[in-house]
């Protein structure tokens, strides 16, 4: 079988998990390969995601390594069996490979999606005008055609909000006050945020400036969580670059960090609870208040 010229994040993760299982069982690559009737270099290629592995031999290897978690194995099998094609495929060569990999991971996050943002509205919650202004003001110059491609791609990503997965967003209050989009686009964006927050599977919380218990975490990140939590992925947004990370230690760190941010953030709230006399300050009320202020400035 020919080796892959391009390795997607999904393919890399599949190979990395097989390697993690082998190392956890303290088995040499030659020994493990012989157990399923192949040579060591073949298994090396599989673990490096340069080629794939069928489900039967994957399960045989997993059993040899002592892994009996059926939910994990079923999720891993589906991950490895995928042909990588989906709605994102039609955008290939029109958006960066990283964006395609992210969309594919989101497709697999059938259980939960956790997102913390500092200075932007999360991508899955952005309006078309907000997306356009974001790319128009990007430090990386883009052509008009590239911007339109990016907009179409991001809007199509948002269809995942109609899936049964749980979506939790924590947005720093600073992200609601940015003015680079202009007042009208930001007002419409906040109105959209309030609308999407009404979905039963979507929770939007605001991390307020008033929090004194801890310093706000400075960098945005998101966690995509498939049926097996062990196969979650963290996407960390650094200045100018984003990266995928999936070590068990990183997953635990970022999941705990998100829960801390959520605990310190304002409760979600809604139009009814926020309107009650003497009601506590909540996220819905903060978003509505900022939106109302922009309406008064028209």
Tens of pLDDT, residues 4-51 = 888 999 999 999 999 999 999 999 999 999 999 999 999 999 999 999
- Banded model confidence at residue 232, pLDDT cuts 50, 70, 90: very high
235 within domain boundaries: yes
Q: What is the mean pLDDT of the chain?
A: 92
Nearest-angstrom CA–CA distance, 129 and 113:
24
Instruction: Please classify residue 53 by burial: count the beta carbons closer than 10 Å to its beta carbon, then call 0-12 exposed, 13-18 middle and 19+ buried.
Output: buried
- Res. 271: pLDDT tops 80: no
Which of 51-60, 71-80, 215-224 shows the lowest mean pLDDT across its residues? 215-224
Asked whether residue 66 falls in the same domain as residue 181, the answer is no
Q: Residue 107, Cβ neighbours under 10 Å: how many?
A: 18
Nearest-angstrom CA–CA distance, 172 and 154:
21
CB 169 within 8 A of CB 125: yes
Domain count along the chain = 2
Nearest-angstrom CA–CA distance, 104 and 46:
20
Length of the chain in terms of residues written: 298
Final residue of a structural domain among 31, 55, 81: 81
- Res. 109: pLDDT tops 90: no
In the chain the beta strands, taken as DSSP E runs, fall at 112-117, 166-172, 202-207, 221-225, 233-238, 241-245
- Banded model confidence at residue 1, pLDDT cuts 50, 70, 90: low
Q: Which stretch of DSSP H or E encloses residue 150?
A: helix 144-157
Final residue of a structural domain among 25, 56, 81: 81
The three-class DSSP label of residue 151 is: helix
State the average pLDDT over residues 183-202.
96
State the average pLDDT over residues 109-132.
95
- Res. 248: pLDDT tops 80: yes
In the prediction, which pLDDT does 280 show? 82
Asked whether residue 73 falls in the same domain as residue 103, the answer is no
CB 218 within 8 A of CB 118: yes
State the average pLDDT over residues 206-220.
83
Nearest-angstrom CA–CA distance, 18 and 222:
24
Q: Round the CA-based radius of gyration of the chain to a whole number and report it.
A: 22
| pTM (2 d.p.) | 0.93
Asked whether residue 72 falls in the same domain as residue 111, the answer is no
1 within domain boundaries: no
Asked whether residue 246 falls in the same domain as residue 211, the answer is yes
- Res. 144: pLDDT tops 90: yes
101 within domain boundaries: yes
- Res. 294: pLDDT tops 70: yes
The three-class DSSP label of residue 179 is: coil
The three-class DSSP label of residue 136 is: helix
- Res. 244: pLDDT tops 90: yes
Edge-to-edge order in the sheet of strand 241-245: 202-207, 166-172, 112-117, 221-225, 233-238, 241-245
Domain containing residue 160: CATH number: 3.30.870.10
Q: In degrees rounded to 5, what are phi and psi of residue 77?
A: -60, -45
């Amino acid at each position: 079988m020919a080796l892959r010229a391009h390795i997607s994040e999904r393919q890399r993760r599949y190979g990395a998990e097989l390697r993690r299982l082998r190392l956890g069982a303290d088995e040499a690559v030659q020994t493990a390969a012989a157990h399923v009737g192949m040579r060591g270099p073949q298994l090396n290629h599989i673990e490096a995601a340069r080629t794939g592995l069928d489900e039967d031999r994957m399960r045989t290897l997993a059993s040899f390594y002592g892994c009996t978690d059926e939910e994990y194995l079923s999720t891993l099998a589906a991950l490895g069996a995928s042909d990588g094609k989906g709605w994102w495929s039609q955008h290939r060569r029109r958006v960066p490979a990283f964006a395609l990999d992210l969309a594919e991971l989101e497709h697999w996050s059938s259980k939960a999606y956790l997102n913390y943002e500092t200075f932007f509205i999360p991508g899955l919650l952005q309006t078309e005008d907000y997306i356009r202004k974001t790319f128009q003001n990007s430090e990386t110059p883009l052509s008009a055609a590239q911007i339109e491609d990016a907009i179409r791609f991001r809007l199509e990503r948002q269809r995942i909000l109609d899936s049964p997965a749980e979506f939790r967003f924590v947005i720093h209050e600073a992200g609601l006050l940015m003015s680079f989009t202009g007042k009208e686009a930001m007002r419409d964006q906040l109105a959209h945020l309030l609308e999407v927050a009404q979905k039963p599977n979507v929770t939007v919380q605001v991390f307020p400036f008033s929090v004194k218990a801890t310093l706000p975490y400075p960098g945005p990140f998101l966690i995509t969580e498939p049926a097996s939590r062990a196969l979650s992925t963290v996407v960390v947004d650094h200045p100018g670059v984003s990266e995928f990370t999936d070590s068990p230690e990183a997953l635990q760190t970022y999941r705990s960090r998100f829960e801390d941010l959520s605990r310190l953030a304002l409760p979600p709230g809604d139009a009814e609870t926020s309107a009650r006399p003497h009601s506590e300050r909540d996220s819905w009320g903060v978003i509505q208040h900022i939106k109302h202020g922009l309406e008064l400035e028209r």
